Amino acid sequence: MKLLVCVSKTPDTTAKISFNADNSEFNGAGVQYIMNPYDEWYALVRAMELKEATGGTVTLINVGPAENDTVIRKGLAIGADDAIRINCNPKSSLYVAKQIAEFAKDGGFDIVFCGKETIDYNGSEVGGMVAEYLGMPFISFASKLEMDGNGATITRDIDGGKETVGVATPFVVSAAKGLAEQRIPNMRGIMQARRKPIDVKEPVAFDDLSTVVSYDMPPAKAACKMLDPEDMDELVRLLHEEAKII
């Protein structure tokens, strides 16, 4: 099987979030970057497991600048065979999806994997966009994926529960927690990754239809009001009269 895994670079979960002086751009100074956890832990690892079970190849694709190669190398160390980087500084999801679809359309991929969302922009969009551009079915939030015959049986999260669906290849799937278990690259993988190819391609022209014009921090939270553990009537009163909730 030919598998394509879309990987994104995001600030580490614990990174301090700040912006430049006019709040127009994320301030990356001193920020540790990682591969988006949904892309790495779930999408890439499940793709590796399928390759190990049935043979085939796992290709990574990233849409971003040369700095992203460190994140791509980690994916190669986990075991992907090769990687494509579309060389640009993307500003919108649709732009990213267009680049991925342009690469994937003639690639003969059986499954295109992505994470359910990135932990920076939290959009959950790219998978659906790629599927639409490629004319493939899209299964969002997969927590289980088993191949059977010429398709797959996938369990996905739906509102208020889970649903198990069948779909024939090729398709696009977004990975949620449960699809696989995180893998730590071993030394052999890391050494091999150095010799694996990252093919750099230039982007196709596409106009952004959405752009972030400014960032802001959420309003500071008032200090926590500490209550007497003996007096829970007071908490109930505050929730009722001050917070006006219960």
Partner 1 sequence: MSVLVFAESQGGQFKKSAFEAVTYGYKTAQVLGTECIAICLGEAGNAADLGNYGASKVLSVADSALNTVDSQAYTSVIAQAAEKNGASVVVLMHSATGKGIVGGLSARLNAGSAPGVNQIPTNDGAFRVKKNVFSGKAIAEVELTSDVKVISVMGNSFQPEVVGSPATVETFAADVPAARITVKSVDKVQGSVPLPEAEIVVSAGRGMKGPENWGIIEELAELIGAATACSRPVADTDWRPHHEHVGQTGVAIRPNLYFAIGISGAIQHLAGVNSSKVIVVINKDPEAPFFKAADYGVCADLFDVVPRLIEAFKKRKANS
Give, as ranges, the residues between 19 and 78 that touch partner 1 (CB under 8 A). Answer: 19, 37-38
Paired tokens of 209:
């239809």
Q: Does 191 bind partner 1 (CB under 8 A)?
A: no
Of the pair 59, 92, the CB lying nearest partner 1 is at 92
Can you give the three-state secondary structure of 12-45, one letter per residue?
A: CCCCCCCECCCCCCECCCCCCEEECHHHHHHHHH
Interface region with partner 1, contact rule CB under 8 A, candidates 54-62, 72-80, 120-128, 187-195: 120-128
Q: Does 119 bind partner 1 (CB under 8 A)?
A: yes
Interface region with partner 1, contact rule CB under 8 A, candidates 43-51, 70-78, 114-122, 197-205: 114-122
Query: Please, are residues 193 and 73 in contact by the beta-carbon 8 Å criterion?
Result: yes
Tokens 């990975």, residue?
Answer: 175
Q: Does 200 bind partner 1 (CB under 8 A)?
A: no
Q: Which of 53, 66, 158, 191 binds partner 1 (CB under 8 A)?
A: 158
Q: Which residue type does 120 have?
A: D
Q: Does 149 bind partner 1 (CB under 8 A)?
A: no
| CA–CA dist 74, 152 (Å, integer) | 27
The least distance separating partner 1 from the CB of residue 192, rounded to whole angstroms, comes to 29
What Rg value do the Cα atoms of the chain yield, rounded?
21
Paired tokens of 67:
């700095």
Instruction: Give the chain's end-to-end CA distance (angstroms, integer).
Output: 55
Q: Does 169 bind partner 1 (CB under 8 A)?
A: no
Of the pair 76, 167, the CB lying nearest partner 1 is at 167
Q: Which of 178, 185, 189, 203 binds partner 1 (CB under 8 A)?
A: 178
The least distance separating partner 1 from the CB of residue 146, rounded to whole angstroms, comes to 12
The least distance separating partner 1 from the CB of residue 20, rounded to whole angstroms, comes to 13
Q: Which of 72, 84, 127, 198 binds partner 1 (CB under 8 A)?
A: 127
Rounded to 10 degrees, the C-alpha dihedral 148/114/38/51 comes to: 40
Interactions with partner 1, residue window 208-227 (CB under 8 A): 208-218, 221-222, 224-227
Q: Does 190 bind partner 1 (CB under 8 A)?
A: no
Sign of CA dihedral 158, 162, 168, 171: positive
Query: Please, are residues 197 and 76 in contact by the beta-carbon 8 Å criterion?
Result: no
